[in-house]
Amino acid sequence: MTTPYTESHDLFRKTVRDFCEKELRPHVDAWEKDELFPRWVFERAGELGILGAHYPEAHGGSGGDYWYSVAKAEELPRMGCGGVPMALMVQSDMATPVISDLGTPAQIDEFLKPALRGERISAIGVTEPGCGSDVAAMRTWARVDGDDYVINGSKTFITNGTRADFITLMLKTQPEAGHGGISIVLFPTDVKGFHVSKKLEKIGNWSSDTAELFFEDCRVPRRNLLGEEGEGFRYLMQNFQSERLIASVAACAGARLTLDEGLAYGRERVAFGKPILKREYWQHRFVDLLTKLEAGHALTYRAVDAYNTERYVKKEPISFDTTKLISMAKVFVGDVASEVVDQVLQFHGGWGYVEDFHIARAWRDQRLFRIGGGTTETLRYYLAKLLGL
């Protein structure tokens, strides 16, 4: 395929790169230590148009296509950590696309537009303590009481969970109906009965807050229902494709930056009389890694092209073939990116195991990719069904 980027895309990419390298990277070490970054990051990203570049102007965005989001995801890793990019992409690519697709004008004004401006922090509430990739097994539920839903249950592994102003919340409005009883409700977190029960301590992505949430007789207006009642599972499966795709883009970009750092280290580090990159073993390993990463990048871009054509050009739902490509990309890129960071850490020897070098953080942060948005094992099972195996 030919390059999809125009001069406008390139200018936007430069805006994101400057934001990451000049405004964020100098603070990242402190934010990692504090295990949180300040709200002004969301606000500044909104001010620069980074969060809403691929949303319609009527919804508070800039009216661009999906390649703007790709450019953003490729530049965000330049800030030097995984936590902040993940939190920003939850805001722009995971918790909010379904609002743009299904929201009423009032819901778009109340929830989506402030999120794209960075004024309200969003989270997406899917995973529960008793069910992860098995979404249909969720137990958080809502009963109707007059003009309200009364919500009870819990969610876990929620990015932005400790400080979200609202949650795009998956729950059951018909608990006995399996996946056919799932709905989506826009849940403001200032509601009585809502609690952040625990901030989770993670292996990586330290600067991003991740929480366990608890809902006890929380009243939310029924007007906050997103789309139709009982259609939430179908909506979520469409939304998952955007989440998995943008995560694959970011993983490719982060792995490439990690490889470049490894190559630079190998040219400078001398062992047994010559730079370690001059050792034939490591030359061959880097050739293999670069080749696999190039293949992953090509597969991801093919999936992006198909997704952009269907969602932004033809304005159609995501097709079977595009869903298959996105799932394949996430599985393949997940394995390749994990291999890249692990091998680059090994290449650094003992220095790769200490915090003095960025590779230690990259190794920790990248590991989440094969879990979040559907585990690699679940996606392989899903692909086997799609392929009729």
Amino acid at 164: A
Q: What angle do CA 16, 20, 24 make, to 5 degrees?
A: 140
Q: What is the pLDDT of residue 1?
A: 59
At 180 the pLDDT is 81
CATH of 232-386, one of 3.40.50.150, 3.20.20.370, 2.40.30.10, 1.20.140.10: 1.20.140.10
- CATH class of this structure's domain 123-226: mainly beta
- DSSP annotation of 381: H
The residues of the chain scoring below 50 in pLDDT are none
Residue 24 Cα distances to 28, 80, 159, 243, 270, angstroms: 6, 9, 19, 23, 32
In the chain, alpha helices (H): 7-18, 28-34, 40-47, 66-75, 83-89, 97-102, 105-107, 113-116, 232-268, 280-308, 320-347, 358-366, 376-386
What is the C-alpha to C-alpha distance for residues 293 and 78, in angstroms, rounded to an integer? 18
Fold agreement (7-120, 123-226): no
Catalytic: which of 32, 75, 229, 243? 243
Predicted confidence (pLDDT) per residue in 21-76, tens digit: 999 999 999 999 999 999 999 999 999 999 999 999 999 999 999 999 999 999 99
Cα 323 from Cα 54, distance rounded (Å): 20
CATH number of the domain at 7-120, out of 3.40.50.300, 1.10.540.10, 1.10.760.10, 3.40.50.261?
1.10.540.10
212 catalytic residue (yes or no): no
* Ranges of each domain in the chain: 7-120, 123-226, 232-386
Q: How far is CA 286 from CA 117, 259, 292, 294, 335, in A?
A: 41, 8, 10, 12, 16
- Residue 154 CB coordination number (10 Å): 18
Query: Contact, 41 vs 88, CB < 8 A?
Result: yes
Indicate the pTM of the whole model: 0.94
